[in-house]
Amino acid sequence: MSGHPVAVVGAGWAGLTAALVLSRAGQPVVLIEAAATAGGRARTVEIDGARLDNGQHILVGACRHALAQMRAVGVNPILALHPVPFRLLMRRRVPDAAPESHLLAPRSTRSRDLAAALYDASRGAAMPRRLLGLPGAWRMLHRPLTRDLPVADWLRKSWQPAQLIERFWNPLCLAVMNTPPADASARAFQSVLRQSLMSGESAARLLIPRRPLGELFPEPALQQLRTLGATVQLSTRVQGIDLMGEDGFLLNLRGGATLPARQVVLATPPRSAERLLPTLPVLAPLRRNLGNIRERSICTVYLRYPKPLPELPPLTGLLDQHGQWLLPRRLAGEPHWVAVVISAAETYPAPDAESRWRRVGRELAETFPGLGEPEHGRVVCEKMATLDARSGIDDLRPDTRTALPGLYLAGDHCVRGLPSTLEAAVQSGQKAAAAAITDGVPDLAQGPD
């Protein structure tokens, strides 16, 4: 029987969760991360002396597993996150006129109030379509889809008025899925809507971080892991995983070192998971599926203003402009900064970072008279921010257990029915750790099934 530790590869929210669950269960754990800091795609970065994030993140009350893990490492979500009732305020620049505002603001998440808010928000649509959209929206929220299709087709089949689609459904889909409605999986979008909007007021609440992302989970998680006796190796890239007969696995680390492990949780994004998997025929279908998962980018434009900003709503949608959502960073302790999110940013190119932030700043000044022009801007683009959550994506998602006993997968790409989110990452980490604990030390002498 192997006395080696369990190796967790990748210290994003999935790997950190897996390592914590294993360590709390008394398992010896080594967590290995290629980067110098933990957090992966949800981490703190320092920009011009301000503690900002690699990308603006938002959670919802329905992220139960992520919130529970934050609590378990000593972070109080009530203090760390600013709750906002589900309410979408959208603004549009209108040349030579006051900006136009549209509001989707249900009084509660009860069907009657949702219907009234949707009816209100579709102002301008012709009457039969405005009314027909209501039973269509009811079906969208109440009848789980048995077959996947693109969100754009789903909205059309559900008789949603063009005004509602353009003002609310399309921006919401792009924000939640990071995939344009023409491609996005309606099943995953519906599942997010049902888990949030159909599960009560607190599940629907938007939760905006009041602290840099690193403080929400990655940094306290590392601290707890060390207290529990886990070994954490940052700045250490795993280059390959070999089988070591009945002794488990041998991880090849950059620089030539090796690390024996009795079980491995591979919590890296699909591309690196595909490269790291042992090249055994039994793993070929898994490698093929992982290789077929594509990514999409997100750019976050940070703008700094000379004076602390006037009161702005915590979240405003931007219509017909380069930026899509505006979030003042006052909440996170940076009153001179705002973040503007551009989802699926590969479809909204810019010649360079400076033209991007200047354009976003100019358009914001026209949308919010009184805001003025920013004095400085920075753009953080994550090319592989999320998976491309297109219709049919669930067919490519891997199971937690691989065909090789003792080798498990985690990461936001592993949870069916959810787009790439912190919640999916945390759920996947819990599941992988639970499977490793349940299975115990694998008998690799028998070979893979």
Ligand X SMILES: Cc1cc2nc3c(=O)[nH]c(=O)nc-3n(C[C@H](O)[C@H](O)[C@H](O)COP(=O)(O)OP(=O)(O)OC[C@H]3O[C@@H](n4cnc5c(N)ncnc54)[C@H](O)[C@@H]3O)c2cc1C
Interface with ligand X (CB under 6 A): 9-15, 32-35, 40-42, 54-55, 57-59, 237-238, 267-269, 272, 276, 298, 300, 382, 385-386, 411-412, 420-423, 425
Cα distance from N-terminal residue to C-terminal residue, the chain? 19
- What is the DSSP secondary structure assignment for residue 169, as one 8-state letter? I
Q: How far apart are CA 364 and CA 385, in angstroms?
A: 24
Q: Taking the complex as a whole, how short is the minimal distance between the CB of residue 234 and ligand X, in angstroms?
A: 9
Query: Quick one: 259 or 371, whose CB is closer to ligand X?
Result: 259
With b for 16 or more beta-carbon neighbours within 10 A and e for fewer, the 250-278 pattern comes to bbbbeeeeebbbbbbbbbbbbebbbebbb
Q: Taking the complex as a whole, how short is the minimal distance between the CB of residue 54 and ligand X, in angstroms?
A: 6
Instruction: For 141, list phi and psi in degrees, rounded to 5.
Output: -90, -25
Q: Taking the complex as a whole, how short is the minimal distance between the CB of residue 92 and ligand X, in angstroms?
A: 23
Q: Taking the complex as a whole, how short is the minimal distance between the CB of residue 139 and ligand X, in angstroms?
A: 27
* Residue corresponding to tokens 């950190």: 16
Q: Taking the complex as a whole, how short is the minimal distance between the CB of residue 389 and ligand X, in angstroms?
A: 11
Q: Taking the complex as a whole, how short is the minimal distance between the CB of residue 132 and ligand X, in angstroms?
A: 32
Contact 268, 413 (CB under 8 A): no
Query: Quick one: 15 or 161, whose CB is closer to ligand X?
Result: 15
The four Cα atoms 155, 158, 159, 163 give a dihedral, to 10 degrees, of -30
Query: Quick one: 190 or 300, whose CB is closer to ligand X?
Result: 300
DSSP element (H, E) containing 30: strand 29-32
Contact 22, 433 (CB under 8 A): yes
- What is the DSSP secondary structure assignment for residue 413, as one 8-state letter? G
Nearest Cα residue to 302 out of 242, 371, 353: 353
306 token code pair: 């000379």
Instruction: For 59, list phi and psi in degrees, rounded to 5.
Output: -110, 170
**Identity of the residue numbered 232:** V
DSSP element (H, E) containing 118: helix 111-121
Query: Quick one: 234 or 365, whose CB is closer to ligand X?
Result: 234
Q: How far apart are CA 207 and CA 85, in angstroms?
A: 9
Q: Taking the complex as a whole, how short is the minimal distance between the CB of residue 14 and ligand X, in angstroms?
A: 3
Query: Quick one: 159 or 302, whose CB is closer to ligand X?
Result: 302
Query: Quick one: 160 or 196, whose CB is closer to ligand X?
Result: 196
Q: Taking the complex as a whole, how short is the minimal distance between the CB of residue 429 and ligand X, in angstroms?
A: 7
Query: Quick one: 9 or 436, whose CB is closer to ligand X?
Result: 9
33 token code pair: 């991360």
Q: Taking the complex as a whole, how short is the minimal distance between the CB of residue 351 and ligand X, in angstroms?
A: 21
Query: Quick one: 163 or 386, whose CB is closer to ligand X?
Result: 386
Q: Taking the complex as a whole, how short is the minimal distance between the CB of residue 28 and ligand X, in angstroms?
A: 19
Query: Quick one: 12 or 442, whose CB is closer to ligand X?
Result: 12
Q: Is 312 helix (H, G, I), strand (E, B) or coil?
A: coil
Query: Quick one: 150 or 411, whose CB is closer to ligand X?
Result: 411
Strand residue runs (E) in 314-430: 316-319, 325-328, 337-343, 376-387, 407-409
